Structure 1
Amino acid sequence: MRRRNFLYGASSSGLLALAPLAAIASPASAAPKGAPASRPGGPTRRPPQITWTIFSRHLQWLTTQAYAHQYPYETGVLVGEAAAEMGYAAVDLTVRPGGHVEPAAVRRNLAPMLRGVRSTGVRCAHITTGFTSRSSEYADEVLTTAADQGIRYYRWGSFSYRWDADAYGDTVLAQLEDLRKEVRSLAVLSRRLGMTGIYHTFSGGRVGSSVWDLLHLLDTIDPDALAINFDIGHLVAEGAVGSWQTNLRTAFPRVRGVGLKDSTVTRAANGAVRAGWVPAGQGFVPWVDFFRVLHDGGFSGPCEAQIEYVHQGVNLNTTFWADTPSFTLSRAQMLGTIATELSVYQAAASEAGWTATEQH
């Protein structure tokens, strides 16, 4: 089934109406890429730059999974066209089980799908993977193939703590030490391929939800090999009153990407406290303050929208394909929702001092 015929058929059915360790250690005298540079009279920062990015998981409903795997170029075109229609300059492509590209098919499908996305004028130098370490299945194959296709960033992680009876004091740090071997191995591969792996920060029992632990884990690693994808929604849920800013400022030399979502904190019927997701501007995230910190620090990299709240009865924190029965939103509803998120972020960034030339 070719792309146009698929669209017509899906629309009529209602589905689419919607190295050694020394090689990875951070040089003490060298400023990491993206970090402030010096100038006479005081510190300066490289020109800040936001790349507005959409997570491709939110566009998997444009086709069926079978179609995406059989026609990767055509699927890439659809993804790029939708991103451009909504105003996004770039796409973070899912290359993981259940994603746009299955890891087992990466050598066959990644290149044509990237050609399709890029043919629309939308950038794609960023993928999200499903592995936490180099020992994960297909990790080397995915990253080697992606590097050959001009991918600069890949998202990896995350790790969870074991909160057992002995998890106090040094035993918590010991859990981090247990992860170092895997982290260093992945850093060696990243360095060899000229890529940056960005670890996504989650809330609640994950390594990185407090940030200091992630900095401790990565402290001997070159931040151009492994860095941080700072999810402001998750980290505001962890520290809405102010620790999000302390964490962001402290981690800033290692921040290479930003995840965008708005959050609240809710209490479930069983008493458990959890992060909750809401449309941008309706939660706890102080968007203008957040974008001002990014601007003043000289941030340059992808700012990725992740839409995960319930919209008209549909939980968008789910991967939908065109033939997923529970996906009942129309094309106009879905694209309109994602575009509205971007407009909120752009307005806040502009108010925070980002000029039009600093946003793309």
Structure 2
Amino acid sequence: MSKPPNKYSRRDFTKLSAMGFAALPLLSFQNPLTSITASTEEQLQIHLFSKHLQFLNYNNMSNAAANLGFNGLDLTVRRKGHVLPENVEQDLPIAVEAMKSHGLQPKLMSTNVWDVNNPVNINVLKTASQLGFTHYRTDWLKYPETQTIQESQAQYAKQAEQLELLNKDLRLIGGYQNHSGKHVGAPVWDLLPILEATKGQFLGCQYDIRHAVVEGGGSWELGLQRIKPLINSIVIKDFKWGIKDGKWQPINVPLGEGMVDFKRYFSLLKTYKINVPVSLHLEYDLGGAEKGRSKLTMDKKEVFNYMKKDLQFIKDTWKSA
């Protein structure tokens, strides 16, 4: 994947880092877990998951997102992402510079961060904080077969407390995404013993309605009601059940063509006064863009049309909900 030729020197980055830390006390930091009482009639702040623009460099990615009408990008700072964790000091400033040049402010990123004892994780968060990011998605967790679920939850709760302390120091807000399957948090309820161990200010839930409906069926509203105090960002995508390779499984589809009742969902978000940053995911067939491929089998103009259509669906449905 080609990237803009200009790069910050280590000396430039040191200056940038110092400026970032100096500016932190001057920033008007607002925690969405305590500010969700803001008017829910306001438009959603919708960010495009940069995984779907992996075929573009930083400048072209930013230009595309801005031209399509997104408020920003949910930047992948993780393995196989737009920014590799081991290169974060060098590459993240370049990505941010490109975003800002097209009017996009750094806010959301998706990471592999969970363990605060991992120096790479710490460096990712410190660098992102210095550059103005406010929210990030954490890594996913799994239940090991060597201990009970309750024992694992107690262990993860302690880790969550440690991560929240780091987030507080850096003025960052982490969100654990509920993801269907055998991940921790697939049934939203099992996140509570873990996340409620924190103070709920700098670590919470990135709520994914698609995965909640896959796992919860008709009871997703109960899960939403229970997890709502911890929601600090949301993911938007849709699916329907279908047979693939001889098995029933969730099939990803464009927004409004699947089983997620977005009008009901958005009406509940308004009722609960939740208006937090949104990350739009497009995981149906986009010629490889849905999988983060660097080369596509579909014309990129067609990919952009799908992105614009899903974005407009969100805006229209939010307005009418």
Query: What TM-score, normalized by structure 1, do the two folds share?
Result: 0.76
Tell whether the 8 Å contact from 2:154 to 2:193 is kept in structure 1 after alignment: no
1:191 and 2:168 correspond: yes
Counterpart residue identity of residue 159, structure 1: L
SS at match of 2:180: coil
CA separation of 1:316/1:265 partners in 2, compared to 1, >3 Å: closer, same or farther? farther
Counterpart residue identity of residue 105, structure 1: N
The alpha-carbon deviation at position 137 of structure 1 amounts to: 5.3
SS at match of 2:48: strand
Q: Which residue of 2 aligns with 1:22?
A: none
Greater helix fraction, Structure 1 or Structure 2: 2
Structure-to-structure mapping, 1:324-343, within 5 angstroms: 324=295, 327-343=296-312
The alpha-carbon deviation at position 348 of structure 1 amounts to: 1.1
CA separation of 1:103/1:120 partners in 2, compared to 1, >3 Å: closer, same or farther? same
The separation in 1 between residues aligned to 2:312 and 2:151, in whole angstroms, is: 44
The alpha-carbon deviation at position 307 of structure 1 amounts to: 0.5
Computed over aligned residues only, the root mean square deviation of the Cα atoms, in angstroms, reads 2.3
Tell whether the 8 Å contact from 1:34 to 1:46 is kept in structure 2 after alignment: no
1:180 and 2:145 correspond: no
Which among 35, 47, 51 is matched to residue 53 of structure 1? 47
Q: Which runs of 5+ in 1 are unaligned?
A: 5-31, 38-44, 64-74, 353-360
Q: Which residue of 2 aligns with 1:122?
A: 104
SS at match of 2:217: coil
Counterpart residue identity of residue 264, structure 1: K
Q: Which residue of 1 aligns with 2:69?
A: 87
Which among 85, 89, 92 is matched to residue 107 of structure 1? 89
Q: Which residue of 1 aligns with 2:193?
A: 216
The separation in 2 between residues aligned to 1:106 and 1:339, in whole angstroms, is: 30
1:234 and 2:217 correspond: no
SS at match of 2:307: helix
CA separation of 1:107/1:173 partners in 2, compared to 1, >3 Å: closer, same or farther? same
The alpha-carbon deviation at position 222 of structure 1 amounts to: 1.9
Q: Which residue of 2 aligns with 1:263?
A: 239
The alpha-carbon deviation at position 161 of structure 1 amounts to: 2.5
1:212-255 CA deviation, whole Å, 9 max, x = no partner?
211111112022211110011111111232x2111112111110
Tell whether the 8 Å contact from 2:53 to 2:289 is kept in structure 1 after alignment: no
Which among 128, 150, 154 is matched to residue 146 of structure 1? 128
Tell whether the 8 Å contact from 1:52 to 1:88 is kept in structure 2 after alignment: yes
The separation in 1 between residues aligned to 2:209 and 2:190, in whole angstroms, is: 17
Counterpart residue identity of residue 47, structure 2: T
The separation in 1 between residues aligned to 2:4 and 2:184, in whole angstroms, is: 42
Counterpart residue identity of residue 280, structure 2: A
The alpha-carbon deviation at position 270 of structure 1 amounts to: 6.1
Tell whether the 8 Å contact from 2:206 to 2:233 is kept in structure 1 after alignment: yes
The separation in 2 between residues aligned to 1:2 and 1:287, in whole angstroms, is: 37
SS at match of 1:263: strand
Q: Which residue of 1 aligns with 2:23?
A: none
1:309-338 CA deviation, whole Å, 9 max, x = no partner?
124xx35441111xx3xx211121111111
Count of equivalent residues: 293
Q: Which residue of 2 aligns with 1:27?
A: none
SS at match of 2:114: coil
Which among 279, 282, 286 is matched to residue 261 of structure 2? 286
Which structure carries more relative contact order (alpha carbon 8 Å, separation 6+)?
1
Counterpart residue identity of residue 206, structure 1: H
Tell whether the 8 Å contact from 1:36 to 1:297 is kept in structure 2 after alignment: no
Q: Which runs of 5+ in 2 are unaligned?
A: 6-30
Q: Which residue of 2 aligns with 1:25?
A: none
1:247 and 2:220 correspond: no
SS at match of 1:62: coil
Counterpart residue identity of residue 50, structure 2: S
Tell whether the 8 Å contact from 2:177 to 2:206 is kept in structure 1 after alignment: yes
1:318 and 2:294 correspond: no
Tell whether the 8 Å contact from 1:55 to 1:306 is kept in structure 2 after alignment: yes
Tell whether the 8 Å contact from 2:157 to 2:197 is kept in structure 1 after alignment: no
The separation in 1 between residues aligned to 2:220 and 2:290, in whole angstroms, is: 23
The alpha-carbon deviation at position 182 of structure 1 amounts to: 2.2
